[in-house]
Chains A and B, each alone.
Chain A
């Protein structure tokens, strides 16, 4: 059930829309406005009682309710004073323009021009300055363009892809599905023919991309992943590790999903997190140079310390 506030907001757009689209179908209007057809009919009944002040019958907005309910077709007249929608509120303009600027960062060259023109015109009409911005980590322009072309033309791609957590480079053919931007990075979501599964490829880790002369044919079981909970989706089946983070390494708790975080009096954190690949945790701990220690599993902590000793043996002293 919508509140009066929401309803009035919708009506102020609905009236000019219906004036412009005489004979619009209830179902189509409902879809455009993102509500149920029943709601549109309820909206029309409200409008029926609205009009010029001191409302005499002839001063009210006229709607053919029978046609709307019976034939599902809307005719609205006698509302010349609501010919234009309400101007964009400052937060609406900023939200819309920020969304468009984000799209701009990843759109193909040809689409980017259209996005730029739309942004310029909307800025002129809505007057929102550039006070919000989403930076998307740039990928190699040539690779980004190849990926965009593969998506637009539904073509298979050959990728040379770096996997830093395993310190390896892989070669694979993929069937592109969509380009996703999440947490400031762009990813190609594709059916990987090597893994025979849906995979996300960070654009800045694609070392080379080649358009193949084959169509992109993701199988029916290739469904886009639900990314509403972020890119890292820890699994219950993964190893649970406990790591102590000294203050300079506290960022780890903000950056990676954790199962629990407790703070000690000295400002260090004790976190637990799911680890799909222990090689990844080893690289993280080595990188943090003593500011992070694996508490559990003990054997993993020992193994990482032994790796550090082996690495040290290559240096004199």
Chain B
């Protein structure tokens, strides 16, 4: 049965692709093998479903009429220039890397989409090389439930609504977003776009979205502003360069991560060194020093020292 259906679908594609003009439904029913012999109702249902399935594959079936004065005579066609993959000429080393690309996604539907893209390029005569860069395995996973609907909304440029809870906040807040792009940062996915209620650029961590992501309105509902760089937006999350310096006493052979970025190490005695550690955020540095327990002691400045003491007291249960 499935083979029959495949035949009918492919014959329909060929029929609409080779036609010089729009082909009416009656004509399609007559010439495409598999439609003849169906009742009117069965044919209508079959044809509608076939069109949907082909469009779902990305086949651009256009509806229109040959004569604009007799618009009741609508028909269908596939424009070859929209249907076909444009010419892509890849050099040997450029084509070789496509083999690795097909292994990157650890996410079923995106892995499939990538393989399908690579297959089309192979069908266009591009020779990939499975052995190239064999020792590199870049893996990208996407397990957040919000990933699939947001990826699709980014691709189709659809507005979405969802509930999002900020870090440390108890309540989730409803957001309406024009999703411009989706970015993985430190292994976590974020969606970036224009928040319609706040009329500002915002980003949301996917793992903090609870409940369903709903599309509102139709695809192509917005355009991403010219010159938008979603990487730059996300890079604002990146640690800022250090602006201050702390002095930290560290036991010898301890505090390796502080030593690694220290600008100077002075020997105090047989047991202790004094490290000069550049930092940007006193709280972040205090967390790191507190984590080292008795092996690192802040000498200055006060903002880091206070931060460490407050953390240690809280853990020690001392008020």
B7, B136, B234, B313: the one contacting A103 at CB < 8 Å is: B136
Q: Which stretch in B62-70, B104-112, B195-203, B263-271 binds the other chain?
A: B104-112
Q: Closest residue of chain A to B144, judged by CB?
A: A254
Q: Is A73 an interface residue (CB 8 A)?
A: no
Q: Is B253 an interface residue (CB 8 A)?
A: yes
Chain A 1-54 residues near chain B, CB threshold 8 A: 1-5, 7-14, 16-17, 20, 32-34, 42, 45-47, 49-54
C-alpha gap A89/B18 in the complex (Å):
21
A273 / chain B contacts, CB cutoff of 8 Å: none
The answer to whether A111 and B231 have CB atoms under 8 Å apart is no
The answer to whether B57 and A311 have CB atoms under 8 Å apart is no
C-alpha gap A27/B260 in the complex (Å):
55
A125-B317 contact given A290-B311, A310-B294, CB 8 Å threshold: no
Given contacts A103-B133, A103-B136, 14 further A-B contacts (CB under 8 A): A5-B57, A20-B125, A46-B10, A49-B11, A85-B123, A87-B58, A94-B155, A99-B114, A111-B97, A125-B88, A131-B154, A185-B187, A286-B311, A290-B311
C-alpha gap A123/B313 in the complex (Å):
55
The answer to whether B17 and A81 have CB atoms under 8 Å apart is yes
The answer to whether A52 and B184 have CB atoms under 8 Å apart is no
A86-B154 contact given A4-B9, A20-B125, A50-B10, CB 8 Å threshold: no
Q: Closest residue of chain A to B9, judged by CB?
A: A8
A212 / chain B contacts, CB cutoff of 8 Å: none
C-alpha gap A12/B10 in the complex (Å):
8
C-alpha gap A4/B17 in the complex (Å):
19
C-alpha gap A130/B180 in the complex (Å):
10
- Give the top 8 A-B pairs by smallest Cβ distance, nearest first: A290-B314, A289-B311, A183-B187, A89-B58, A184-B187, A99-B104, A308-B316, A53-B31
Q: Is A215 an interface residue (CB 8 A)?
A: no
Q: Is B174 an interface residue (CB 8 A)?
A: no
A102 / chain B contacts, CB cutoff of 8 Å: 104, 138, 140
Q: Is B26 an interface residue (CB 8 A)?
A: no
Q: Is A250 an interface residue (CB 8 A)?
A: yes
Chain B 85-105 residues near chain A, CB threshold 8 A: 85-91, 93-98, 100-102, 104-105
C-alpha gap A89/B94 in the complex (Å):
21
C-alpha gap A207/B18 in the complex (Å):
63
A88-B117 contact given A131-B181, A285-B315, CB 8 Å threshold: yes
B121 / chain A contacts, CB cutoff of 8 Å: 85
Min Cβ gap A170→B in Å is 10
The digit string for B20-59, where 1 denotes a CB below 8 A from any CB of A, is: 0000000000111100000000000000000001101111
Q: Is A314 an interface residue (CB 8 A)?
A: yes
C-alpha gap A106/B97 in the complex (Å):
13
For chain A, the count of residues having a C-beta within 8 Å of the partner chain is 121
A134-B184 contact given A118-B97, A129-B224, CB 8 Å threshold: yes
A7, A121, A179, A267: the one contacting B88 at CB < 8 Å is: A121
A2 / chain B contacts, CB cutoff of 8 Å: 2
The answer to whether A135 and B85 have CB atoms under 8 Å apart is no
Q: Is B222 an interface residue (CB 8 A)?
A: no
Q: How many residues of B sit at the interface, in one of the four size bands?
A: 35 or more
The answer to whether A181 and B138 have CB atoms under 8 Å apart is yes
B159 / chain A contacts, CB cutoff of 8 Å: none
The answer to whether B115 and A309 have CB atoms under 8 Å apart is no
A1, A5, A106, A230: the one contacting B53 at CB < 8 Å is: A5
The answer to whether A121 and B11 have CB atoms under 8 Å apart is no
The answer to whether B11 and A51 have CB atoms under 8 Å apart is yes
A-B contact pairs, 24 of them (CB 8 A): A5-B9, A12-B10, A51-B14, A86-B84, A87-B82, A90-B156, A92-B117, A99-B105, A107-B97, A107-B133, A131-B154, A131-B180, A134-B183, A137-B186, A152-B135, A167-B295, A169-B256, A177-B135, A179-B137, A182-B187, A184-B184, A227-B139, A305-B316, A308-B313
B104 / chain A contacts, CB cutoff of 8 Å: 98-99, 102-103
A283-B292 contact given A4-B6, A107-B136, A289-B287, CB 8 Å threshold: yes
Q: Is A211 an interface residue (CB 8 A)?
A: no
Q: Is B61 an interface residue (CB 8 A)?
A: no
Min Cβ gap A78→B in Å is 12
Q: Closest residue of chain B to A136, judged by CB?
A: B138
Q: Closest residue of chain A to B134, judged by CB?
A: A178
Q: Closest residue of chain B to A287, judged by CB?
A: B291
C-alpha gap A50/B227 in the complex (Å):
47
The digit string for A284-317, where 1 denotes a CB below 8 A from any CB of B, is: 1111111100000000000011011111111101
Q: Is B213 an interface residue (CB 8 A)?
A: no
Which residue, of B85, B106, B315, has the highest number of chain A Cβ atoms within 10 A?
A: B315
B286 / chain A contacts, CB cutoff of 8 Å: 289
